[in-house]
Amino acid sequence: MASKKLVPPKNLHIDFKPSPKQYELWKLLQPECPVCGGEIEQKLIGYDVNHNPKYKPHCTKCGNFNIPQLVLGGGAAGGGKSYEGSVWLISSCIRFENIRAVVARKTLKSLKESTWNTLRSILKGYKLQEDVHFRVNNIEGTLTFWNDSVIIMKEMCDIPSDPNFERFGSSEYTCAFIDECSEISEKAVEVLFSRIRWKTHETFKVPKMLMTTNPTTNWVRGRFVQDENGDKVTTREGEFYVPFSVFDNPDIAFRQTYEAALNKISDQATKERLLYGNWDFVEANDMALYNRFDGTKHLITGLKEKVYDPTKPLIVVWDFNVAPYMSTLLVQIDYDKKKVYIIEEILGKAEDKENNTPSLARKIKKKMYRQKHIGGLDITGDPAGLQRSTTNEDGINNYTIITDTFGRGILRPKVKLLRKQPPQATRCEFVNEVFGGYEGWEIQIDIKCRKLTQDLIYQLRNEDGTKSKQKTTDPKTGVKYERYGHLSDCLDYLLCYYLRDSWYKFKSGGDGNGYVVSTSVIQEGFSY
């Protein structure tokens, strides 16, 4: 039997009274210029090497070229981000006929249990009736309006058999809303964004995508909020970020109830993230290998400024993987107070041509000179760095390159290494115990050590207790690399060597001699 024809509603009234933050986000999502409300038009700006014309959107009224296309509403839970995204999709479908709007999350299950219900609730609040003004097909995941505009559900999870999201096919959409975008990959977002081209000129003039998320440590923070030093990011042209806290929700009753519930949470990191939208605080991950790491307890704001002493020895811990970067940690240890201070991470990035031992060593050397470090350097890390590379001269390895680069002058580098890599599962258990206060030890990490923090949160565990070092592919270079594990490896090597009395006791069976390299450059009993 044919479905009953949908009809437009009479006297439709959309009741949406946004908070100031919601209104700021709302303006960025409209077809008009967010600065002056003027009309957007594509302007010819030149030609490419093949003599094809190149266009750029701009406002015909004020001349603004930075037209919003990819917009992030990020911050506290309960700030009204997801509600606003749902209102935006519905109002757009009502405003424009025959458009295709996408609502997406990592899985269809999570989408149906959250955002999809919000959409239907809003429609009910607007007095729109199912099968009269709109039709829902839960099997196909569509919500169709009387004017043939449709909201389409999309699942955005990474599937190993479909790394390039070919399941999107040649689909074309008009606008998109991704809820909890931190749960999905940057590539998934970019592939979906590339499909926003259906009736674009007639509607929004440019592709429009809204993303929402609570604070996280992954690619979202680095692209829209903070760089690796914790400094504010300058977003790319056409990309905008609007921060939210619970207090930006216009529903006062909800805000009061939600705030009261969050204030009962004892975990400060969770409270800072969910109540205030603080991106500096991270939550522990019980599923992670390092599940005793606790951001509230172990991450310290301004640690380097508080504890670093240039007159005392500084440990430089190395891991020699070149992709996605070469990794080092700068560490000082107070044996009297039994405190390990991870004061800085320094990365050798491929884009800077520093993901090789000589370049990264030169970078660190310059840094030590600028800091007027006179306390000497301990060089430690992966014992595999002693192996001679076929690309180096005979007898040259990573550690000789480092010491030669640092020189024998004021830095006074001394190599201190384990003879071989400690068993991975056992050493990870040991590090977890140290995070928990094993034998009175305490680890403090400067909050700016972002990549190390990501490692500790997202590094998963194999069944045998080893690190699950799954590989990912760089979408720009095509290079495969292990996303996590490099800086946490540095931490492993550090603790097994410099806390070796505790390490030998933990692993029960160490003879106290078998794991330490004895060479002319090594001085035992590092202490101050």
Residues 237 and 305 in one domain: no
Give 84's Cβ-side CA count (13 Å radius).
32
Closest CA to 93 of 195, 189, 9: 9
Q: Classify residue 323: in a domain, yes or no.
A: yes
Residue 155: predicted pLDDT: 92
**pLDDT tens digits for 47-64?**
999 999 999 999 999 999
Residues 116 and 221 in one domain: yes
Residues 202 and 85 in one domain: yes
177 vs 251: CA distance, rounded Å = 22
**pLDDT tens digits for 166-200?**
888 788 999 999 998 988 999 999 999 999 999 99
Q: How far apart are the first and last CA of the chain?
A: 85
Residues 248 and 107 in one domain: yes
Mean predicted confidence (pLDDT) in 517-522? 35
Containing 21, the helix (H) or strand (E) segment is helix 20-28
Largest separation between any pair of C-alpha atoms in the chain: 89
* End position of a domain, from candidates 253, 285, 305: 253
Residues 215 and 125 in one domain: yes
Mean predicted confidence (pLDDT) in 114-128? 92
Res. 235: pLDDT tops 70: yes
Can you tell me whether residue 59 is helix, strand or coil?
Answer: strand
Instruction: Write down the pTM of the prediction.
Output: 0.63
Instruction: Compute how many other C-beta atoms are within 10 angstroms of the C-beta atom of residue 37.
Output: 12
Q: Classify residue 54: in a domain, yes or no.
A: no
442 vs 425: CA distance, rounded Å = 21
Residue 393: predicted pLDDT: 46
Res. 450: pLDDT tops 90: no
Residue 391: predicted pLDDT: 39
Token representation of residue 361 = 């060593």
Lowest mean pLDDT among 103-107, 155-159, 295-299, 517-521: 517-521
In percent, how much of the chain has pLDDT > 90?
57
Q: Classify residue 491: in a domain, yes or no.
A: yes
Res. 214: pLDDT tops 90: no
Instruction: Compute how many other C-beta atoms are within 10 angstroms of the C-beta atom of residue 106.
Output: 20
User: For the chain, what is the domain count?
Assistant: 2
Q: Which domain holds residue 492?
A: 295-507
**pLDDT tens digits for 14-51?**
878 888 888 999 999 999 999 999 999 999 999 999 99
**pLDDT tens digits for 305-350?**
999 999 999 999 999 988 889 999 999 999 999 999 999 999 998 8
Mean predicted confidence (pLDDT) in 364-383? 95
Mean predicted confidence (pLDDT) in 375-388? 86
Residue 526: predicted pLDDT: 31
Closest CA to 176 of 105, 256, 76, 255: 105
List CB contacts of 245: < 8 A, sequence separation 6 or more.
75, 76, 79, 275, 276, 277
Instruction: Compute how many other C-beta atoms are within 10 angstroms of the C-beta atom of residue 315.
Output: 23
The answer to whether residues 126 and 11 touch, using CB atoms and an 8 Å cutoff, is no
Instruction: Compute how many other C-beta atoms are within 10 angstroms of the C-beta atom of residue 4.
Output: 9
Residues 438 and 308 in one domain: yes
Alpha helices in 173-308 (DSSP H): 186-194, 219-220, 252-262, 268-276, 295-298, 303-307
Which of 254 and 147 is assigned the larger pLDDT?
Answer: 147
In percent, how much of the chain has pLDDT > 70?
85
Residues 164 and 74 in one domain: yes
Residues 248 and 303 in one domain: no
Residue 146: predicted pLDDT: 96
Residues 242 and 315 in one domain: no
Closest CA to 295 of 438, 456, 460, 153: 456
Closest CA to 64 of 99, 32, 96, 108: 32
CATH number, position 469: 3.30.420.280
Tell me the average pLDDT of the chain: 86
Res. 352: pLDDT tops 80: yes
β-strand pairing of 413-415 with 325-334: unpaired
Can you tell me whether residue 172 is helix, strand or coil?
Answer: coil
Mean predicted confidence (pLDDT) in 455-460? 86
Res. 511: pLDDT tops 70: no
6 vs 24: CA distance, rounded Å = 34
Residues 180 and 90 in one domain: yes
Residues 243 and 372 in one domain: no
Residues 243 and 328 in one domain: no
Q: Classify residue 40: in a domain, yes or no.
A: no
Residue 255: predicted pLDDT: 66
Q: Classify residue 1: in a domain, yes or no.
A: no
Which range scores top for mean pLDDT: 5-9, 74-78, 469-473?
5-9
Res. 523: pLDDT tops 60: no
CATH number, position 153: 3.40.50.300
